[in-house]
Amino acid sequence: MHKYELVLLRLLAKKGVPLRPAEILEVSGINRDSLFWAVENLRSKGYIDVHRSIEKYATITEEGKKYAESKLPELQLLDKLAANGPIEISSMRSSEDQISLKWAKEKGFIAFQNGKMVLTDKGANAQKSGIEEDIVLKELYKNPEKISDFEAKYASSVSQLEKRKLIIIGSKNGISSVEITPKGLRAAEEEQEDEEAINTIDRRIIASRAWEGKKFKPYDISLDVEKQYIAKQNPLREAINRIKEIYLSSGYMEATGPIVLPAFWTFDSLFVPQDHPARDMQDTFYLSNPSSISVDNPRLLKKVKKAQEEAWHIGWSKEIAEQAVLRTQTTSVSIAKLYSAEVLKYNMPIKMFSVGRVFRNENIDPEHLADFYQTDGIVIGRKLTLANLFDSILRIYKPLGVKIRFKPSYFPFVEPGVEVQVYYEPKKKWLELGGAGIIRKEITDIVSSEIKVLAWGLGVERILLAKDPGIKGIYELYNNGIGWLRNKKAVIL
Amino acid sequence: MTFEKAYLFSLTKFKLSDARLIDQITKMGFDVEDNNASEISVDITPNRPDLLDIYGFARALRYFMHRSKRFDYKVESKVPALSLSVGQNVKAIRPFISSFVAEGKGISENELKYLVNFSEKLGSIYGRNRKRLAMGLHDFSKIKPPVSYDAFSDLTFIPLNESREMRFSDVLKENEKGISYSHTIRNSEGKTFYPALVDAEGVMSFIPIINSNRTKLSTGAKSIFVDITGTSQYIIEKAADLFASVFIDLGYVISPVEVKYKSKAVMYPQMSSTTITIPASRIEENIGVRIGPNNIVSLANKMGYKAAIVGSNIRFVTPPYRLDIFNEQDVIEDIAIGYGYDYIQPEPIPSVQQGSLEDVTRLTGMLSKLMLGLGFSEMMNSYLTSEETNFDKMLLKHDSDYVKIKFSKEKQLNMLRNWILPQLIYNASLSQHEKLPQKTFELDMVFSLAGGKTLEEYHLAGLIVDAKANFNEIKGIVEALLSTVGLQYSIKEDKIGSFIAGRQAGIYVGNKKVGFFGEIHPQVLNNFGLEEPATAFEINISQAFQQ
């Protein structure tokens, strides 16, 4: 029940008699419009009966308003006489002068002496104390709906004002009184009980034990409530973290390496010939600032140059190898670690991994991104086999619960070469996850002819795609839709 | 490569169901890209130019399914069909040529189509758009010796399928092939050469652009002249072996061509093979399975090698058409493929090494958790961005110390970001219909240049978009974060154009500025089309946490 309805209902229940709207307005503090709204609501619920009657009302005319805001003209004339003494009658020419003269004369407030008017005793008295007619006009101006009360008390003044056309009395069909019904009485009693039940619990209620012996107001539990959102980690980050966790638990050391590097580390050191299509500007991001990055390892450069020239039968240029690019795979991180002399200090087999972004100069569409994540693993040892490679990769991916298979393929820096594929259930097909293999001897011999290196570089996003049915495509991950993330279901990877 | 299945099976002399065919191709190491009722498309890896034609592919499939017993690819005749002299002028641009003549019963329509197609593919893929290798086919009966290869002056001839005589220079300007391949005969100084094969009647071929119409090869021709030119002697020699092997498969008889350089003469094709001897145990040790010498020989045959057991070793003879067998590891891969990757049992590596994470991984992991705890959701944006987003929209001048991309297919991506905030604002601008407040963060890499060196650092940026977003709130968040991680920091006035003056501050660790925060300037919000107030911070994690 609305506040105003409740106030009205309680008032009627307390008084026990029909009340007129004017009475209610006086004691309830509700304004006129709200009261009639509450009356109508309670009536429609059957809580009250409404008695109607013809109701008089007063309208104040323009002239009446003017006098209500100041004084009746005859009183104004009395003021002048009191202040200035007798006035020449001949000077009273305007129509207003005539009106004031007429009423002052009629009411016996003035007398004429030698062409001048003077105050009578009655007039002097009226000038000092005012007159009923003037007071009634002022009151009606404020409360025109009280016309019936005024008529009852000051009948002659009201009729005089009406005669003078300062007010017009009309009538309309209105509410004369409202009365509570038995149903309304019951409702008021129930509301009373409810009022004592506890709604919002606050500190005061708990601290003062005000709740003791009271009921708690029950809520409508089916109502829609304001939506709450959880601050979330990006699903891609979750996948990366999970992959790192698996590598960690499998005894791999994390390695990181630069993204901006000379082509040498992403191509030449990986046995990719300098005229290989993958090195084209159409596929790889070359930089204009910095445009080249020197490789300060003359011994390594010499060895790579020799290996390249022998295998590919084309010249090898240091300038091409030093062009600055964005790495195209994370294998460059592993290879750089491999070439760093420190790696051989560890006990073999050495297991390392990295997770990082790689870049391809692509036209971006839902299937193709210019940068995405790759995870790279290498195992350095003396006796390592293709069977060891398969096992190493399966150990990383088995905990993720995705289906993996191996097929032969070609990558310039590995031999044998392996394509790792992941089964993508929604499309019922195998997707390429990346490449793997045993690093070519031309590369590993530069470090030591005693070692063998297993390596793999696999996509991260596709794993997530295969694991999480809530992700429609790789593009969703990089759209960074706040709404998408807010509504994204959590998935255990 | 797209192959007509009916023709493929007429060459293999056996038929396979689609499922079986796809399975075999996958096991051979290739991806089937498409398959319909009549054709199958296979992605041939770049190491196998010998499979860029249906004949080579049918041959490999035959071997792989043990349906071929023939391992000799030889040239019987020692008498050259032709002597071809090489002049001095061509040395500077395209020095090498190999050639041979194939004689048969008359070339069929299919053969002509597939052989021309093969020569095109070989030139474009293996030949790097004809730069390092290109080949031509001619009707040998239309050639009038003597034949020479050299770079000439601007001669005239009627190019293939043209009806008028044209100068070399006109071909480069007007003929489609001339326009496409003119770069192959321009040297690094921009000088254009005109390499050509010329016989007694004039130009046979403008190399490597287009043949003459006069020596055009048509269906029914009985002897075919093949020329192969390029920039690497090894490659043109192997390409001749490769191409001659196809003719041998088709039943042609190969007659050699003698190529006479100033100081030496060479007969082509050489049909050269490499003999590689590997201990059987080493093969098994590399693959990680027990195979046995006899099985190794059988697997070698399956992959097209001649092989024999010699003591504890296996001696492999590579087929002349394989260009990708450098040494024993390449042979071992073929044995592994022959064995079947599916049959190799994964075998664990014994290891006692303990895993470890890089410091930066642990640091960023902790900071991410704190941000999530503060109610910020994680965004992950591209490291690539545009100067417009990174600078202009943020009301910043372009400094010069950022990593710039030389060429990008997406014009909008022309640099590596040097801060994260612009992308967070961009993300928010796309999610304006979402309920406020929106709190997002990103913790990842940014790139800058210092003294010519690239700095790859981690930044943490946070953004609040909210009707009530204000300086005090973001300051509270920055302070909560910094005090939680125990950084000794101070806060000073800052003047970054992206923020409202007087409502921003810099974060200092010691004397070094490591970040900033404040209320984002309304002009910046307008630039991104964002219509709600926003505050943000960005901290250089790499510098703030140094030592």
Architecture of domain A238-250+331-493: 2-Layer Sandwich (3.30)
Nearest to A237 among B128, B332, B380 (CB): B380
Q: B-contacting residues of A 285-304, CB under 8 Å?
A: 285-291, 293
Structural fold of domain B2-64: Phenylalanyl-tRNA Synthetase; Chain B, domain 1 (3.30.56)
Find the residue in A nearest to B367 (Cα): A233
Fold agreement between B2-64 and B275-343:
yes
pLDDT mean across residues, chain A: 88
Nearest to A236 among B48, B380, B384 (CB): B380
Contact A154, A136 (CB under 8 A): yes
CATH number of B82-268: 3.50.40.10
What class has domain A62-174? mainly alpha
All residues of chain A having their beta carbon less than 8 Å from the beta carbon of residue B347 are: 385, 387-388, 390-391
All residues of chain A having their beta carbon less than 8 Å from the beta carbon of residue B357 are: 244, 248, 254
How high is the ipTM of this complex? 0.90
CB-CB under 8 Å, B337 with A408: yes
CB-CB under 8 Å, B405 with A288: yes
Cα–Cα distance between A19 and A178 in angstroms, integer? 5
CB-CB under 8 Å, A416 with B336: yes
Q: What are the extents of the domains in chain A? A: 62-174, 238-250+331-493, 260-326
Stated pTM of the model: 0.78
All residues of chain A having their beta carbon less than 8 Å from the beta carbon of residue B121 are: none
All residues of chain B having their beta carbon less than 8 Å from the beta carbon of residue A409 are: 29, 31, 45
CB-CB under 8 Å, A248 with B356: yes
In a mutational test of the B interface, the residue from A360, A409, A423, A476 whose CB has the highest number of chain B CBs within 10 Å is: A409
Burial classification of residue A359, based on how many CB atoms lie within 10 Å of its CB (0-12 exposed, 13-18 middle, 19 or more buried): buried
Q: A-contacting residues of B 177-216, CB under 8 Å?
A: none
pLDDT mean across residues, chain B: 94
pLDDT in tens, B196-242: 999 999 999 999 999 999 999 999 999 999 999 999 999 999 999 99
Q: What pLDDT score was predicted for residue B368?
A: 97
A163 has a pLDDT exceeding 60: yes
Q: What pLDDT score was predicted for residue B203?
A: 96
> Which one, of A16, A356, A320, lies nearest residue A177 by Cα?
A16
Cα–Cα distance between B412 and B386 in angstroms, integer? 5
Average pLDDT over residues A164-190: 85
Winning range, highest mean pLDDT, from A48-57, B121-130, B133-142: B133-142
Nearest to A260 among B232, B345, B454 (CB): B454
Contact A123, A112 (CB under 8 A): no
Winning range, highest mean pLDDT, from A154-158, A166-170, A400-404, B541-545: B541-545
Distance from CA of B403 to the nearest CA of A (A): 5
Cα–Cα distance between B438 and B463 in angstroms, integer? 8
pLDDT in tens, B15-34: 999 999 999 999 999 999 99
A430 at B interface, C-beta within 8 A:
no
Q: What are the extents of the domains in chain B? A: 2-64, 82-268, 275-343, 359-544
In a mutational test of the A interface, the residue from B303, B339, B353 whose CB has the highest number of chain A CBs within 10 Å is: B353
Cα–Cα distance between B143 and A305 in angstroms, integer? 43
- The strand pair at A287-289 and A404-408 is best described as unpaired
- Specify the CATH superfamily of domain B359-544: Bira Bifunctional Protein; Domain 2 (3.30.930.10)
* Residues above pLDDT 70, as percent of chain A: 99
List the structure tokens of B145. Answer: 């010796």
* Residues above pLDDT 90, as percent of chain A: 31
* Residue A126 binned pLDDT confidence (cut-offs 50, 70, 90): confident
A28 at B interface, C-beta within 8 A:
no
All residues of chain B having their beta carbon less than 8 Å from the beta carbon of residue A480 are: 379-381, 427, 430, 440
Cα–Cα distance between A458 and A354 in angstroms, integer? 11
> Which one, of B393, B509, B404, lies nearest residue B449 by Cα?
B404
pLDDT in tens, A273-317: 998 888 888 889 999 999 999 998 888 899 899 988 888 888 899
* Residue A341 binned pLDDT confidence (cut-offs 50, 70, 90): low
B547 has a pLDDT exceeding 60: no
> A396 to each of A353, A456, B344, B361, how far by Cα in Å?
11, 11, 18, 19
> Which one, of B3, B7, B12, lies nearest residue B67 by Cα?
B12
CB-CB under 8 Å, B235 with A258: no
Contact A262, A293 (CB under 8 A): yes
Q: 3-class DSSP state for residue B94? A: coil
Q: Which is higher by pLDDT, A345 or B114?
A: B114
CB-CB under 8 Å, A244 with B361: yes
A240 has a pLDDT exceeding 80: yes
A468 has a pLDDT exceeding 90: no
Q: What pLDDT score was predicted for residue A365?
A: 78
Going across the sheet that includes B415-416, the strands are A287-289, B404-405, B415-416, B384-385
All residues of chain A having their beta carbon less than 8 Å from the beta carbon of residue B232 are: 313-314
Give, to the nearest 10 degrees, the angle between helix B471-484 and helix B359-373.
140
In a mutational test of the A interface, the residue from B48, B341, B444 whose CB has the highest number of chain A CBs within 10 Å is: B341
CB neighbour list of residue B363: distance below 8 Å, 6 or more residues apart: B458, B541, B545
CB-CB under 8 Å, B344 with A287: no
* Residue A218 binned pLDDT confidence (cut-offs 50, 70, 90): confident
Average pLDDT over residues A77-97: 84
Contact B168, B162 (CB under 8 A): no
CB-CB under 8 Å, A293 with B346: no
CB-CB under 8 Å, A255 with B344: no
3-state class percentages of chain B: helix first, strand second, coil last, to nearest 5: 35, 30, 40
Radius of gyration for chain A, computed over Cα atoms and rounded to the nearest angstrom: 49
A345 at B interface, C-beta within 8 A:
no
> Which one, of B44, B96, B126, B408, lies nearest residue A275 by Cα?
B126
A248 at B interface, C-beta within 8 A:
yes
In a mutational test of the B interface, the residue from A232, A407, A461 whose CB has the highest number of chain B CBs within 10 Å is: A407
* Residue A258 binned pLDDT confidence (cut-offs 50, 70, 90): very high
pLDDT in tens, B421-438: 999 999 999 999 999 999
Contact B96, B230 (CB under 8 A): yes
CATH number of B275-343: 3.30.56.10
* Residue A359 binned pLDDT confidence (cut-offs 50, 70, 90): very high
List the structure tokens of B19. Answer: 């499922």
Average pLDDT over residues A466-482: 84
